[in-house]
Amino acid sequence: MAGPKIVFQPEGYDIGDAMPFYEGGSYFLYHYKTDQAQRGRLQGWTLSETRDLVAYEDHGVQLPFGKEGEKDRVFRSGSLFKGQDGLYHLLYGADDGGEFLQLASGKALDALQKTDFILGIPEGYGPAEFRDPCVFWSEELRAYVMAVGTRKAEGKRLLNGCVVWFTSKDLQTWAFQGDLFASGAYTTLEMPDLFKLGQWWILLFSEYSDRTQVVYRMARSMTGPWLCPDDDALDAAAYFAAKSAEGPEGRVLFGWVAGKSSEDDRGAWNASSGILPHLLFQREDGSLGVRMPQSARDAFQEGKCLKTPEISAPYTREEAFLGEAREGTHLLELEIEIEPGTRAFSLSVAGDEESRQAYEFRFLVKQNRVEFSASPNHGIWPPDHFRGMERLERLLPLEGKASLKLALLRDESYFCLYAEGAALSGRIYEPKGCAVFAAAANGKIRVKSAELFTLKA
């Protein structure tokens, strides 16, 4: 199978935990890279570059792990930035049985060198997690600001994850400022990302103790209080560990899409596989949405129109064949009109036209939710008849809508559905065919438009 074209995954490797930085027309990503042939052996911090969020250049391993006897034999993520001193810096986490922060600096992004700087966990936190710093220069404070994910030291309590913050004039001496965000709702908060967008401060983080998602909070002040929007997630449970960088289109989010054990639809999610960029945008109320970056959308050429049926099923579920979408990399854009009172409708892909086995995006109108799974969703008898594919789901404002515009990216085994500012990413490992279907359940829909786009040569 060929490698993905929009999702960034070098052949033979899994990558993740991107630390993005934009300068001079390029996004630069420091990220980890694991060798699939060596059972996931980590390669240290690798530098990659892209100008269009489609084609990436691998500049190789820049910061290897520490050798035997050195403290930084395990890395955690961090922050890539250009300092007031004109140097480039990577402030990142490391682990020698207890987590701490470390700094690498240099005159070029491909010439960073580890320094002697070490910052440990402040008193009253830990004892282990202290990771993934986010660093930026604040003109208002005339100082660097650093947000770090950690945990309060509160005996046996588990839901004690928080983000703390520090300030510094020189990147060497850091003044601890206390809690930036401590909701009492999560364990460790990974990959904190703090930035101002419009009139709002945004705090992104990845949590794995509730829904395993990239979520965010918003505030009028950098230090809160932090409001939770109605839909605080940016993607589903297979998209994780995302950080952002401001580029010409706006702020782009780089998160990894997980893989599944043995590339089996019914397998368990495991670590990252490839990095998928989303473009963040802000609604009038300050809340965030995501869409495909325009530079990635521009990689597709004019497509072909699929069938546009009307499907009426007031008491049943009825399906209609729209056309075929061959495996590989393509983009499917649709607009669906929804008759009032419709209970549910769906879009199914990678299907078999005869059996109607497929992968289904099921839009539950009255529940304001979209779900993704195999259809039908059951295991193999014997012995796993009851072990179907784990569902992915996202909140989606559907009730009362007259129509819905969808964009579905398929990139080899990867997919991402964009709708109403929400994204739902995941994997398809066992396609049944190339058929595309639409369906209505206890209601009526009309496929107003359906167009399939392929990559430019």
Same structural domain for residues 316 and 242?
no
What does the pLDDT look like over 327-342, one tens digit per residue?
A: 899 999 999 999 999 9
Q: How confident is the model at residue 240 (pLDDT cuts 50, 70, 90)?
A: very high
Under the banding of pLDDT at 50, 70 and 90, the label for residue 3 is low
| Cβ atoms < 10 Å from Cβ of 76 | 23
How far apart CA 334 and CA 357 sit, in angstroms, is 21
Q: Which residues of 217-256 are buried (b: 16+ CB within 10 A; e: fewer)?
A: bbbeebebebeeeebbbbbbbbbbbbbbbebebebbbbbb
Identify the pLDDT of residue 2: 53
Are 279 and 326 found together in one domain?
no
Q: Is 44 domain-assigned?
A: yes
239 & 321 share domain: no
Q: Do 229 and 290 reside in the same domain of the chain?
A: yes
- φ and ψ at 106, to 5 degrees? -175, 170
- Do 115 and 264 sit in the same domain of this protein? yes
Same domain, 44 and 168: yes
pLDDT tens sequence across 75-113: 899 999 999 999 999 999 998 878 999 999 999 999 999
For residue 298, the SS3 value is coil
Whether residue 382 has pLDDT greater than 90: no
Residues near 281 by Cβ (< 8 Å), separated by ≥ 6? 250, 288, 289, 290, 291, 421
Confidence of residue 1 (pLDDT cuts 50, 70, 90): very low
Distance of CA 175 to the CA centre of its chain: 31
Q: Would residue 157 count as lying in a domain?
A: yes
d(CA 52, CA 67): 36
Query: Do both 239 and 380 map to the same domain?
Result: no
Say whether both 286 and 337 belong to one domain. no
Whether 1 is covered by a domain: the verdict is no
Question: What CATH number does the domain containing 401 carry?
Answer: 2.60.120.560
Q: Please tell me the total count of domains within the chain.
A: 2
Neighbours of 364 (CB within 10 A): 18
List the beta bridge partners of residue 426: 415
